[in-house]
Chains A and B, each alone.
Chain A
Amino acid sequence: MLKNDGIIAPEELAPVLPPPARLEKGPVAIIECLQDIPCDPCVSACPTRAIKMKEGITDKPQLDFDACTGCGLCIPKCPGLAIFVINMKHAAGKATVSMSYELLPVPEKDQEVTALDRAGKAVGKVRVVRVINPPAYDRTAVVTIEVPADQVNNIRAIRV
């Protein structure tokens, strides 16, 4: 359970996962923010206004999966590093996961890194397919890795 060990259990994750039909359409965000905390930068980060907080700043963010384009601009804005973008249409049997990365060294495109699950356990070697690290992101790089499709909601970190 998340509140006991910091690991989001499958049943805790289920409500924030995009429906299968949406995954068929390409990249989409998953906001793994499951607690009412006073924080809202994701709302204004979204260019399509797909993220809403119905009951004000302490509400959990609600993502309109159909309005989300999977652009990933919300990823580096989240102080909790809790937003990921997954793309199930990347290649046959392969998906991508995009995530915030704030350690050094920042990996480079095509570099091989170790994928980690929610408990920090190594899942295997994966390839970095994109790194976005402009000054506007203020040292929070957004790293996209290519993962086996069945690992897309298991892999949540990398070790460079």
Chain B
Amino acid sequence: MSRSTEVFIIGGGPAGLSAAHVAARLGAQTLLVDDSARVGGQLIKQTHRFFGSSNRDAGIRGITIADKLQQDIKDVADRLTVLENTAAVGFYHNKEAGILSQNAYERVTYQSAIVCTGATENSLAFENNDLPGIYGAGGVQTLMNVHGIRPGQKILMIGSGNIGLIVSYQLIQAGVEVVGLVEGMPTIGGYLVHASKIRRLGVPIYTSHTILKALGSDGVEGAVLCRVDDKFRPVPNTEFEIKCDCICLAVGLTPLIDLFQQAHCRMVHVGELGGLVPLHDSSMRTTNPDIFVAGDASGIEEATTAILAGRIAGARAYESVHGKSAEADTIVAEAREELRTLRSGSTGERIRWGRERVLKEVGEC
């Protein structure tokens, strides 16, 4: 079997759904594939209210934003096909890709592709880190907020970025005791309002600490923590035990980039963006002119900026099929301006550095 489409989008998270909506609304025949049972990406488990601009979804829960994006794409259903439970498994020459649904393999020929594969969770090296009961934070959110299953009764959180802080709060909402939150850096990584929110519900925050090992034989029964110095080396004689039946790792994300490498996109390592990312210009076009990128696959950020980058990629992918469009230009200009304001200020500093490095490499900056 084979299919043909003008714009081919891989990944139905906030970036992919926004790109699909824009490309299809402008007039491109669009195909979106997602390997999960329901599009929405990570938004379908984000029960908290989003930060950002009230012009664009701030103050609204992530699950509501997912509903809105799913509604948006229904409005363009005549030009957009969505295949759930379908994974993109490879790019071939001549603008061809392979997709795999539950039982069938198909080839897709496209004119422009937008890859919005998101990211994978990082792990952490410590003794016994393969015991049952040790989860990634995304896995915990899926269990809890999608399937309604508590991962345990007493959980230890590792990592004080926004994901660690927010998932700790959601665990408390689900009735799980969070016995502590551990952070190697001397200061909290995520937004301090999120930290205060869990602290005042009684969660101790151990900055300048690390986990040395998980305790237990058939499952997690506790953990050994210790202080670290300014070079992240354990400080002798500061070890202590903490009881828990679950350990949750929220130690960062890495862009999911296999498909770009396969499509011969030039890659660059930018620490501020989470590792290797495909080089891309401000239109989100990679060094393979037929392939665009948006969302966490272009650098770890968050859903609001993924939506905006998705809109840019959707508009430019439409143009690369149908030619220049004033409407596409307007969408791009608006999205760029919103991205600029969201990334301004001190919390956006690392992202700005990372993004500038990428644009410098492609000669735009």
Contacts and interface: CB of A to CB of B under 8 A. Distances in A.
A146 interface: no
A54 interface: no
Interface of B: 48-54, 58-61, 64, 172-173, 186-188, 191-203, 205, 207, 341-348
Main secondary structure of the interface of A (DSSP, over half): loop
Contact of A79 (B50, B196, B202): B50
Contacts of B343: 38
Interface string A45-80: 100000000001111000000000000000001111
Given A6-B199, A116-B201, A157-B200, A57 B344 contact: yes
A146 to B, nearest CB: 18
A5 B173 CA distance: 21
**Across the A-B interface, the 10 shortest Cβ-Cβ residue pairs:** A58-B345, A80-B193, A120-B202, A6-B199, A41-B59, A6-B195, A79-B49, A39-B51, A157-B200, A82-B193
Contacts of A118: 196, 199-200
Contact-size category for A: 35 or more
A103 B193 contact: no
A4 B188 contact: yes
A81 B53 CA distance: 16
A59 B345 contact: yes
Interface of A: 2-8, 32-41, 43-45, 56-59, 77-82, 102-104, 116-121, 138, 140, 156-157, 159
Given A37-B347, A39-B58, A79-B59, A4 B192 contact: no
Contacts of B202: 116, 119-121
Contacts of A35: 191-193, 347
7 contacts: A2-B192, A3-B192, A37-B51, A56-B341, A57-B342, A58-B344, A58-B345
Nearest to B195: A6
